[in-house]
């Protein structure tokens, strides 16, 4: 018997059960950027603790853990954050032309006041000193690490039945002023968090016709940039899994 072939064909002992895998993929494919469906129901501290803990267990380059989590519940603070958004939002509308501008002006792009909780995830770029393992040459790795914390929180929140909306239309200095964030700390994401009336089957920008979801087979290269492999077995698998994900989205609706 070819034992090496058997070993390769045997599922990994570290793989999750099918039920656990399905739950993870369900969270990924049903996660949405929520803007307008927030309910006034408070988020219990035990639930908030779980999603913040999940965020804190994100991967970080050099294990520097550069993040902080600023929890916003005060209506006054939310109003200051919303005023910072409104200023940038009005400016942004003028950056688009024609139909794009009209569509942009119709979009609801935040739930700052309506959501029970806001969470601003930040990055302290000096947390572990000037030389960090893994960031010696690519200095932005701390920022990317903080984004991993955003994604961890978002997926954990979806599993808890919470909606999350990422608001990014701010002047950085205005958001820092609204939240009292020091100049040396970089805001990564202001997240609106709360229970929702429903989750949309598709991302709202896709439904609004802003942009379509790109096909995976156009985004995967082999060995060299731009080198595509139409005959690669992986491409057939990607097409199959995209179709399955689409069916799953339709089932949610």
On the question of pLDDT at 8 being above 60, the answer is: no
- List the one residue out of 194, 170, 168, 188 whose CA is nearest residue 80: 170
Burial 72-109 (b: 16+ CB within 10 A, else e): beeeebbebbbebbeebbeeeeeeeeeeeeeebeeeeb
User: In angstroms, rounded to a whole number, what is the distance separating the alpha carbons of residues 94 and 111?
Assistant: 22
Asked if 167 and 85 count as a contact pair (C-beta separation under 8 A), the reply is yes
Query: For the segment 87-106, what is each residue's pLDDT rounded down to a tens digit?
Result: 999 999 999 999 999 999 99
DSSP per-residue string spanning 192-206: EEEEBS---SS-HHH
Which distant-in-sequence residues (6+ apart) come within 8 Å of 226 by Cβ? none
194 contact partners, CB below 8 Å, separation of at least 6: 38, 39, 41, 43, 111, 114, 115, 116, 117, 162, 163
**CATH 3.40.109.10 for the 32-211 domain, yes or no:** yes
What is the reported pTM? 0.91
Domains of the chain: which residue ranges? 32-211, 214-253
Q: 116 to each of 64, 105, 189, 212, 231, how far by Cα in Å?
A: 30, 25, 17, 31, 50
pLDDT digits (tens, 9 = 90+) for 31-83: 999 999 999 999 999 999 999 999 999 999 999 999 999 999 999 999 999 99
């Amino acid at each position: 018997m070819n034992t090496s072939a058997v070993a390769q064909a045997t599922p990994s002992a570290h793989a999750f059960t099918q039920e656990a895998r399905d739950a993870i993929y369900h969270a990924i494919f049903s996660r949405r950027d929520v803007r307008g469906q927030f309910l006034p129901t408070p988020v219990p501290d035990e639930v908030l603790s779980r999603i913040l803990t999940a965020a804190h267990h994100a991967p970080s380059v050099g294990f520097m853990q550069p993040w902080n989590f600023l929890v916003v519940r005060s209506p006054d603070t939310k109003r200051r954050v919303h005023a910072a958004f409104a200023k940038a939002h009005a400016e942004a509308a003028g950056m688009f032309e024609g139909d794009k501008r009209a569509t942009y002006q119709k979009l609801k792009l935040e739930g700052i006041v309506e959501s029970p909780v806001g969470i601003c995830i930040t990055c302290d770029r000096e947390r572990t000193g000037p030389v960090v393992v893994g960031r010696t040459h690519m200095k932005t790795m701390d920022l990317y690490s903080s984004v991993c914390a955003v994604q961890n929180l978002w997926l954990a929140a979806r599993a808890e039945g919470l909606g999350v909306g990422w608001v990014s239309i701010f002047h950085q200095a205005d958001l820092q002023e609204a939240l009292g964030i020091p100049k040396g700390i970089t805001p990564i994401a202001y997240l609106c968090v709360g229970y929702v009336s429903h989750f949309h089957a598709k991302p709202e920008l896709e439904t609004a016709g802003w942009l379509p979801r790109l096909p995976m087979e156009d985004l995967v290269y082999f060995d060299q940039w731009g080198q595509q492999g139409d005959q690669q077995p992986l491409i057939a698998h990607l097409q199959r899994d995209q179709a399955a994900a689409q069916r799953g989205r339709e089932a949610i609706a």
